Chain A
Amino acid sequence: MKLRNEEIGLFLEISDDLLRTIRESGLLHYPKEFGGILIGNYSTDKKIVNVIDTLLPTSYKSSKFSFERGSEGLKEQLETLFNGAPSLIYVGEWHTHPDAQPLPSGTDIMGLTGIAKHRDVNITSPILLIVGLTPASMELGFYVYFKDKIYRYETY
């Protein structure tokens, strides 16, 4: 799946396989929220983010209306991926909205902003995938934090 935001001229690519994996993980926790982090890399011109995999959290809290991702064990896994070939890095987050639209809540916006500004995060534009999920369907919302604002990607 290929997406872009025309206003800022940035692109995102993600495979259908990964989206299937994300959907299945989300359904295992339905009707509670669930999520994880997104792994990938940037194109050489840094215009495209390729989302390649997800890491699921080993520690988290979740309910129908919230999801709190822990960070236990993440550092080791991310360092291993960074030193691998090809080198993969943290590019953003995903979580589900059970029986709701994939629109960012105030908490989501605060969360993504906090990540972008955190001293242990070196990327300036983390992405956020929200999965509006029901047992029969899913609706995707892809967002990016760019220069103090959140933008939504569109398919093209």
Chain B
Amino acid sequence: MARIIVITSGKGGVGKTTTAAALAMGLAQRGKRTVVIDFDVGLRNLDLIMGCERRVVYDFVNVINQEANLNQALIRDKRCDHLYVLPASQTRDKDALTKEGVGRILEELSQIYDFIVCDSPAGIEHGATMAMYFADDAVVVTNPEVSSVRDSDRMLGILSSKSRRAETNDEPIREFLLLTRYDPARVESGEMLSVEDVQEILSLNLLGIIPESKAVLTASNSGSPVILDRESDAGQAYGDMVARYLGEEVPHRFLHTEKKGFLSRLFRG
């Protein structure tokens, strides 16, 4: 049985797709059979971030409508054998994702894969609720900023009340916080909420802190998940996140600005 992980947020544009791509790639690189599904019907872009947009033939909605089978729609990643992508469709009809259809496909994928990563659209609209409903684990992606933190708290309310696990009185969804676009310099100067501030409000299991990084844009430009860029701070932070998700104890990094250089120390800058 696969573990179903939803990558969610209340506010849009916080880094869910970046995270879904990194998590899926990271799990697959560790030998876990992984599939990543784009639930953002109509606004698909996971395929772009994964760099497989030109290989999309069928999509998630085609499979739900039984116009194609899973094997026809799944795209095998060229960099990693254990990784598959199920792209979203460009159709504007969001209701195409029915609970029965999504449930049936997740069930089928569960037989084959170890992890199913669901890249959710933001908020609580239909596609997002479908991505959350079947989840075992949820990664709540949050930026250190008022509206994002507030919306994350709202998502927690929904995760704990409107999921399959809540409806069947099963063990609740495991919720994790991932703080992204963290800028230590701005935190140190008091302009940005710190990880401690956010934790004081949300008090969730902290899966990682991803620094604001130029590497993310570079990665998306070239269609290569940033976790593959091992030189970069964001790539390493995502690597740590995957390790923590799998239960390893890894200290948090990239929380502070780099130590001052020789010159500024000399002048007691």
A, B bound = no
Chain A residues proximal to chain B, CB less than 8 Å = none
